Amino acid sequence: MAHIIGGITTSHVPSIGNAIHRGEQQTPYWKPFFDAFKPLHAWLKTAKPDVIVVVYNDHGLNFFLDAMPTFAIGAASTYHNADEGWGIPVVPSFNGHPKLSWHIIEDMVEHEFDVTSCQELKVDHAFTLPMKLLYPDAGEDWPVKVVPVLINSVQHPLPSAARCWKLGQELGHAIRSYPEDTRVLIVATGGLSHQLDGTRAGFINRDFDLMCMEKIVSDPEALTRFTNRELIEQAGSQGVELMTWIAMRAALGSHVHEVSSTYCAPLSNTGGAVMLLEPDLGAVQMAAE
């Protein structure tokens, strides 16, 4: 059976890619954020995931306002990156895990989640930057296979926080029911609070962000009680990317251990955060029984 070995959250703002490209990781502005990944690098060397399920939102590389699926899952054998116009170098392609992807898709549909299955999919900065942060020395060959899971946070109506929680629960069930011995890491990317346009451009809510980081460990279902309107009020119009965190956390099970946690704000007009969580395997086993 497959095992979910951990969950990671990280911001994915495009300027991270430019900082990497320019070698600015240890400048005073960027150092706290990049240093937050050092304990994650050490953890990855020990944990050795076989597959990373990346929960993120597409920014127009695949889907635009004329056709925006609420939930989509990649089922390709290869995922290519493309130039989005941010000046970030295109990264090498990623190897998918079609067998696990289809297992997840079929489980989701069986349990009444009408996901869009993508047999071709380009991955944008919300996917590639977290992978580059986790594996900065990967070179041309990424050491893991990937499964992209996309949540709409762009085109209204958006899925509710409660719906994303249920999606994550089913994602966790689907992964654990996969019959092959596979070590799976779930990475949720986006946020925290930020707004890129309008009269509140540059808005960051530090208190809300820190509350989310505490609740995602101790009481994650409290976050599902926010309506989308409330999330936008509290976290900005792009702060709804918190949905990816909620889905990841639900997949981990009822109890987790916080291994590492860092908050950096402002991070290019974003409340930037990095967290590493491990599921309580005893609680997961009891739930399965």
Mean pLDDT over 259-265 rounds to 96
- Alpha-carbon distances, residue 21 vs 51, 86, 97 (angstroms): 26, 11, 29
pLDDT at 170: 98
SS3 87: coil
Residues with catalytic annotation?
Answer: 125, 194
Q: Which residues contact 219 (CB under 8 A, 6 or more apart)?
A: none
Mean pLDDT over 86-97 rounds to 94
Domains of the chain, earliest start first: 3-288 (3.40.830.10)
| Residues 180-204: tens digit of each pLDDT | 999 999 999 998 999 988 888 889 9
pLDDT-derived band at 117 (thresholds 50, 70, 90) equals: very high
CA neighbor of 271 nearest in space, from 239, 237, 231: 239
CA 168-112-149 angle, 5° bins: 40
What is 197-260 written as a DSSP string? SSTTTT---HHHHHHHHHHHHH-GGGGGGS-HHHHHHHH-TTGGGHHHHHHHHHHH-S-EEEEE
CA neighbor of 244 nearest in space, from 163, 175, 183: 163
Two structure tokens written together for 112: 């009444």
Q: Which residues on adjacent β-strands are paired with residue 53?
A: 147, 186
